[in-house]
Structures are given as C-alpha cells and as structure tokens.
Amino acid sequence: MNELSIGHFVLNTNKQSLLYIADNGTTTGRKLSFREASILGILIEAHGEIVENRRLLLEFWGSDTVYNLNCLYVFMSRMKQVLAADSSLSIVNVRGIGYRLIQDET
C-alpha cells in the first residue's frame, strides 16, 4: 500500500482513493481515477517543486500535443477543486512550464 499525505489529505495510490480528515476528526473519502491518483501522487512527492507539463503529458497521455495539453489543463482544474477543501493547499500553474503543489505553513 502506498499512502502519501499532505495537509488534511491522505492519498492511497494503490486503492486510488483520497481521504480528507477534517479538524474535528470526521473523514470524507473519494475514489480517484488511475490518472488522478498517479498525478496527485507525483505532485505530493515533488511537494513545492515544479512538475513539468511535458513529463505529465508523455507519461499519462503518451504525447505532448496541444490537444493533450488542453486535457491536462482541464484535469488540473478538477484537481484544484478537489484540494480546495484544505485552504492551506493549492496547485499553482507555472505558466508554460508545469504545476507545483504548495502548502501554506500558516
């Protein structure tokens, strides 16, 4: 089992699930697609570092065409909505380069 955690979230990449643990201890789970779990895992492991678009496109879409880049934009928009439950986390678009998952330390 491969579990990664950041903020209020625990990602299980093997089960493709994301668990949100609120401050009051209640938990909410959600099933992820293979691609969602894998990309989120990469972002968590790279925590704070830029993950290049090209890497994600080649690994998960097989090519870095403009069409696939648009798919990545939509995909990352959805992932930002999922992580919005934890206000300390955000996925930042580094224009023309890639994405970075950051966590505010406040």
* Dihedral pair phi/psi, residue 8, rounded to 5°: -90, 5
pTM for the structure as a whole: 0.90
19's CB contacts (< 8 A; 6+ apart) are 9, 10, 11, 12, 27, 28, 29
pLDDT tens for 4-43 read: 999 999 999 999 999 999 888 899 999 999 999 999 999 9
User: Cα–Cα distance between 31 and 40 in angstroms, integer?
Assistant: 13
- Give 46-72 pLDDT, tens digit per residue: 999 999 999 999 999 999 999 999 999
Query: In this structure, what token pair is assigned to residue 57?
Result: 């496109």
14 with 72: CB under 8 angstroms?
no
